[in-house]
Amino acid sequence: MSEDTAGALSAQELLELPYSRRRIIVVSDDQKATPAPSPSSSPGSRTLRTVFPALAIGLLPAGILAANLAIELVKASKEMRQGGEDLLTVSSAAALQLTFPVGHPRKKVAYIGHPVEPKVYIPVADFHRFLFEHKVAEALRTIRSLGAVTIEVSRVEGWDQSVGVNLAAAVPAATPVDVGASATRERRKGHLVLSTMRLTPTSPPALPGNLVWLPHEPLWQEIAQARLESGLDSFVLDVRTSDDYGVNAGLKALIAKAGLEFGGSYVEHRDTVWRLQGTFSPAH
């Protein structure tokens, strides 16, 4: 694909690229451009377009609107490249093979690729919050699958739940769990306790499938091995975020200059540590 066209990539073409190239995408409209209607084709429509120019946009064929979007995306790509960033266009058909948050993808919204889940793309606005929530959820899923009976989640530094991180989303409804301290949070040993959980394991300790953060977290791996091989009966596990993955104020300004949208209210990155600690069920 030429750098100066809005030729949209297929999902396979996108995912074959290195992360640095496919990091930022927009989704195009697959409608093909069609000729504009002749001004003399309908006197009534000419009058309507004259009196209500904004309504005229709604009367244009979908292909014309798609062509206009394609031109805007070409301009956005050039602007991003001048700022030192690649912006790739993905067809809306190809986007069906990728994973986006509910309500997405949307036109002219810039998406950032998940650093460890290749098919996942996140609006710029929610990138940092989504990534941290995903990491916390995986840590909780790992600890639960290893047979945790109590878990306390506390903030050591950085974000608390006011940024929208949803702990409840990390625990499936079918899991026997009693979650407390969500409304009346307390401070313990200088940390803000965000949640406490009491669980009743129903399966032997095991690592769950489809873990994407664990291979990059040596300390998590050691806790898992100690539980599975040595009957570990308690744990302290820190979930950290210290890398902004280049999604910062500079990129935010460049995306705005390119005429693209963030997909919501932008959440700035903060170095954050949440601590999970508790006990496992007795080893058998």
Q: Considering the entire predicted model, what is its pTM?
A: 0.80
Q: What is the pLDDT of residue 8?
A: 84
Q: How confident is the model at residue 50 (pLDDT cuts 50, 70, 90)?
A: very low
Task: Please report the beta strands in the chain, taking only residues with DSSP state E, as ranges in sequence order.
Answer: 24-27, 88-90, 111-113, 121-123, 148-157, 177-180, 186-188, 191-199, 234-241, 272-280
Q: What is the pLDDT of residue 214?
A: 97
Q: What is the pLDDT of residue 159?
A: 85
Mean pLDDT throughout 251-265? 96
The domain locations on the chain are 11-125, 128-244+267-280
CA distance 136 to 150: 16
Q: What is the pLDDT of residue 47?
A: 44
Q: How confident is the model at residue 256 (pLDDT cuts 50, 70, 90)?
A: very high
CA distance 36 to 176: 61
Mean pLDDT throughout 233-247? 96
Average pLDDT taken over every residue of the chain: 83
Q: What is the pLDDT of residue 121?
A: 98
Q: What does the block give as tokens for 19?
A: 């992360």
